[in-house]
Amino acid sequence: MHPGPWNGFAAESVRDWLVLLVQAQPDIPAEEAEARATRALALVRGLLLDLLACDDHARIAAATSAEW
């Protein structure tokens, strides 16, 4: 079976975003910056999935600005 035109897109997209998010933390040690970038990307992806599933814009907007 041919993997299709989107084969590898998800993994490549994650790698692209991680590079940018790590570069945005120049004063953080590389291992910690990558862990923080991974957490941030997972949070954003989770919020996007939640928004797509529930269409609750107000709740998602509130979650993006909530303090930890």
Percent of the chain residues topping a pLDDT of 70: 99
The pTM for the full model equals 0.81
Give the per-residue pLDDT at 8: 92
Sketch the domain layout of the chain as residue ranges: 9-65
The CB-side HSE value for 57 (13 A sphere, CA atoms) comes to: 0
The amino acid occupying position 68 is: W
pLDDT in the model for residue 40: 95
Tens of pLDDT, residue by residue over 9-42, are 989 999 999 999 999 999 999 999 999 999 999 9
Task: Supply the pLDDT for residue 14.
Answer: 95
